[in-house]
Amino acid sequence: MKDFIKTTVLGALMATAGSAVMAETELRLSVETPPGHVRNLAAERWAEAIEEASGGEMTVEVFPAAQLYKSADAIRALASGALDMSIQANVTMSQFEPNLSFSILPVFFGRTAEEAQAVLEGPIAGEVSDMLAEKGIAVPGAAFLFAPQHTAFTTETVVESYDDLTGLKLATPPSPVVVGVLKEMGGAPQAARRSEIPLLLSQGQIDGMGGVTELTIIGGKLWESGIKHIFADNAGWGFYMPVVSQRTMDKLTDEQQAIIRDTWTEVGEWAAGYAADEMAKARETLAANGVTVLDADLDMVAAKRQELLDLQDSIVSDGGMDADFIARVTEALDGSM
């Protein structure tokens, strides 16, 4: 009888402990962008959806504005298991997996949102997931297209042609491809963490930014830091990816892993729609805050695209990218036309 009682009590204690473990599944999600940015809004929605779907057994604390990790530090933390979740820009992820710079290569110059989206929804997306899986990072759902990237966002200098880029100190995402392309166009790019850029701008240490989007300016209210002019040439496309540490996924039950994937499906669709709506009204928002946008001459863009295409093989090689993978991206892109 005593053995029965001991066994019953032990079983109850173990069951209680198991419930406590389930109730204490707390995850941390880090993003570098400021509150109000689509990435932050998506992160908050994802966190809420996970908690609701799990009945409170899983909670996600969102750390915005690089409070927890800055740019590449967050990616390394994901790979090591020090960070659980994030939503990352592909150009930032390219520091960790160079092939993720594919959407800002010269072959993407002048491409439409529909063409870029078709690539993200095809087999290339699976290849990207496999690449990151090998490095300890899981991709639990589809990326969403953010916005076209432009070559120059400046404080005082008005850029009207690529000749005007000569010597301009432009802060860029920490991507070798962005830096390499801007150098080829005569600029003086400086890879910088997003959280550092407002100070660099306000102190006059840089002339502006390169390789980012109109929504980057809006999300960070960077007109307050001095951005006044945009040279819009649709030089590539940026997208955001949901990413989870594989070590974190391995600690979760199958049901919990499914919750992370299933909740992102709805959140990702919402984020894509929100970003598209933001782009539709971006020019109005920028104008209201004193930012002028000059659309580059299409013939000039086409000529520059061809010039850079001649250098793409070396850009791919210098950037540590897989030429065969880029060939498949190009094929998928041309097939979407």
Give DSSP secondary structure letters for 306-329: HHHHTTHHHHHHHTT--HHHHHHH
CB atoms within 10 A of CB 45: 19
Q: Is the dihedral of CA 178, 103, 92, 210 positive or negative?
A: positive
Report the relative pairing of strands 152-154 and 229-232 from DSSP bridges.
antiparallel
pLDDT score for 8: 40
pLDDT score for 12: 42
| Token pair recorded at residue 175 | 């991507």
Burial of 195 (0-12, 13-18, 19+ CB in 10 A): middle
Q: What angle do CA 2, 3, 6 make, to 5 degrees?
A: 85
pLDDT score for 337: 58
3-state secondary structure of 229: strand
* CATH number for the domain that contains residue 152: 3.40.190.170
DSSP string, 245-266: EHHHHHHS-HHHHHHHHHHHHH
| Dist. CA 181–CA 321, nearest whole Å | 14
Closest residue by Cα to residue 34 from 216, 173, 214, 204: 216
Question: Tens digit of pLDDT per residue, the chain (337 long)?
Answer: 444 334 443 444 444 444 434 447 999 999 998 888 899 999 999 999 999 999 999 999 999 999 999 878 999 999 999 999 999 999 889 989 999 999 999 999 888 899 999 999 999 999 999 999 999 999 999 999 999 999 999 999 999 999 999 999 999 987 888 888 999 999 999 999 888 999 999 999 999 999 999 998 998 899 999 999 999 999 999 999 999 999 999 999 999 999 999 999 999 999 999 999 999 999 999 999 999 999 999 999 989 999 999 999 999 998 899 999 999 999 999 886 5
Residue type, 129: S
List the domain range (segments joined by +) for residue 9.
2-335
The model's pTM: 0.83
pLDDT score for 285: 96
| Dist. CA 102–CA 23, nearest whole Å | 41
Residue 141: DSSP 8-state: S
Residue that is written with structure tokens 């945009």 in the block: 230
Is residue 145 within 8 A of residue 239, CB to CB? The reply is: yes
Number of domains in the chain: 1
Q: Which long-range contacts (CB under 8 A, 24 or more apart) does 327-334 make?
A: 328/123, 328/124, 328/127, 329/102, 329/105, 329/107, 329/119, 329/124, 330/107, 332/118, 332/119, 332/122, 332/123, 332/124, 333/107, 333/108, 333/111, 333/115, 333/116, 333/118, 333/119
pLDDT score for 138: 98
Helices 123-133 & 113-120, crossing angle to 10 degrees? 50
